[in-house]
Amino acid sequence: MRDDPTRLTSDRGLLTMVGMCTVILVAAALYLARSVFAPLAFALFIIAIMWPLQRVLQARMPKLLALAVSILATIVIVTAAASMIVWGFGRVGHFIANDAPRFQLLYDQSTSWLEGHGIVVAGLWAEHFNMGWLIRLLQQVTARINSTLSFSFIVLIYVLLGLLEVDTVALKLREMKNGAAGQVLLAGSAETAAKLQKYMLVRTLMSLMTGILVWGFASLAGLQLAAEWGVIAFVLNYIPFIGPLVATVFPTLFAIAQFQSWQMAVIVFSGLNLIQFLVGSYLEPRISGRVLSISPFMVLFAVLFFSFLWGIAGAFIGVPIVIAMLTMCRQHESSRWLADLLGDRQRR
């Protein structure tokens, strides 16, 4: 007996609706429970990156001592990255404070130009920027620092316990009664870890190249604080799209104040965008190759979507999460089409 085409269409529509509802519910759960899932995702990412070091060390020394070395290395790397971004923006802020009259003059000129075109800036400034606004800003900054410290502590605990459990979890997957599921999870996890390690290696090399090129271009253009802009570009390049955008806009605004010339600002903006394009859109895809290639649309979507869910942490971890999801989809025939659809063809 043949299947009723109307019934088959109805079943497909029902499955589609169920799938859409599931995606919405999962996204809502990730957002509402972000204090749980965001540090867990970060911890799994760090475990995947640090596991090769942990494995090498524990083959040569006691496991707990190897764990201590791995955790210390993680803390040093994260602290160094945070220190560089704080140093870079701190130097820029200190320079602006010391050269306040020039920036005040630029502000006055801009205000006069805007008011000449019917935009009253002084009224807007007085309405929105007052002592109450400043107090609220300080409270928000303090709360953000506290939440960042709490987030980092939770991630550290997850990493500490997770590195101890890697071998145990791998053994459990091998001994699962459903051997096929265990092998899929084991192979998918191993391939995901390898891809994330390569992702961070490529991202680090590209960030370093971007930082050097930005420093060189800023020096040639005569832009002050060239080294600081290079360091800022290096660190922010780890966040796709959003990081390079910030690392381009801030030097451009600074160039407007320094040179007081829109032509020079356009040159700085164009030069920085050219660097970001050459490194991010030309060199990086060719170096990473097919192993990491995912659709540029998915990269942007991952950054924006996980930024919405988890803030700055989501902007950093979004692309690795998508890499992990697509890698796991490739492990089973029924979901391989999704990985092929959202992946990017190898560029020649």
Q: What does the alpha-carbon distance between residue 143 and residue 149 come to, in Å, rounded to a whole number?
A: 10
Please give the pLDDT value at position 118: 63
Please give the pLDDT value at position 1: 45
Q: What does the alpha-carbon distance between residue 141 and residue 8 come to, in Å, rounded to a whole number?
A: 56
Helices marked H in the chain — which ranges? 5-32, 34-58, 63-98, 100-116, 121-128, 131-174, 179-221, 226-236, 242-259, 262-277, 284-292, 296-310, 312-329, 336-342
Q: What does the alpha-carbon distance between residue 253 and residue 241 come to, in Å, rounded to a whole number?
A: 18
182-197: per-residue pLDDT in tens?
Answer: 788 888 888 889 999 9
Please give the pLDDT value at position 207: 92
In terms of Cβ atoms closer than 10 Å to its own Cβ (0-12, 13-18, 19+), residue 39 is: buried
Q: What does the alpha-carbon distance between residue 257 and residue 211 come to, in Å, rounded to a whole number?
A: 22
Indicate if the pLDDT at residue 313 is higher than 60: yes
Spatial CB neighbours of 308, under 8 Å, sequence gap ≥ 6: 31, 314
109: how many CB neighbours lie within 10 A of its CB? 11
200-250: per-residue pLDDT in tens?
Answer: 998 899 999 999 999 999 999 999 999 999 999 999 998 888 888 889 999
Please give the pLDDT value at position 230: 94
Q: Return the percentage of the chain with pLDDT > 90, whole number.
A: 23
Q: What does the alpha-carbon distance between residue 187 and residue 192 come to, in Å, rounded to a whole number?
A: 8
Which region among 5-9, 150-154, 253-257, 322-326 has the lowest average model confidence (pLDDT)?
A: 5-9
> Could you tell me the two tokens for 8?
């088959």
Do 270 and 255 touch, CB atoms closer than 8 A? no
Please give the pLDDT value at position 76: 92
> Could you tell me the two tokens for 145?
């620092």
pTM equals: 0.81
Indicate if the pLDDT at residue 146 is higher than 80: no
- Among 260, 265, 254, 261, CA closest to 93: 254
85-98: per-residue pLDDT in tens?
Answer: 889 888 888 887 77
Indicate if the pLDDT at residue 22 is higher than 70: yes
Please give the pLDDT value at position 12: 65
**What kind and span of H or E run contains 331?**
none
Do 297 and 25 touch, CB atoms closer than 8 A? no
Q: What does the alpha-carbon distance between residue 192 and residue 319 come to, in Å, rounded to a whole number?
A: 12
Indicate if the pLDDT at residue 107 is higher than 80: no
Higher pLDDT, residue 117 or 320: 320
Confidence of residue 348 (pLDDT cuts 50, 70, 90): very low
Do 307 and 222 touch, CB atoms closer than 8 A? no
Indicate if the pLDDT at residue 108 is higher than 90: no
Averaged pLDDT, 338-342: 79
Tokens 């959003």: give the residue.
242
Q: What's the mean per-residue pLDDT of the chain?
A: 82
Q: What does the alpha-carbon distance between residue 185 and residue 179 come to, in Å, rounded to a whole number?
A: 10
Please give the pLDDT value at position 37: 92
In the chain, domain spans: 37-342
Spatial CB neighbours of 277, under 8 Å, sequence gap ≥ 6: none
**101-to-36, 189, 295, 314 alpha-carbon distances in Å:** 47, 57, 47, 39
42-75: per-residue pLDDT in tens?
Answer: 999 999 999 999 989 988 888 889 899 999 999 9
**340-to-22, 43, 326 alpha-carbon distances in Å:** 22, 28, 9
Indicate if the pLDDT at residue 122 is higher than 60: no
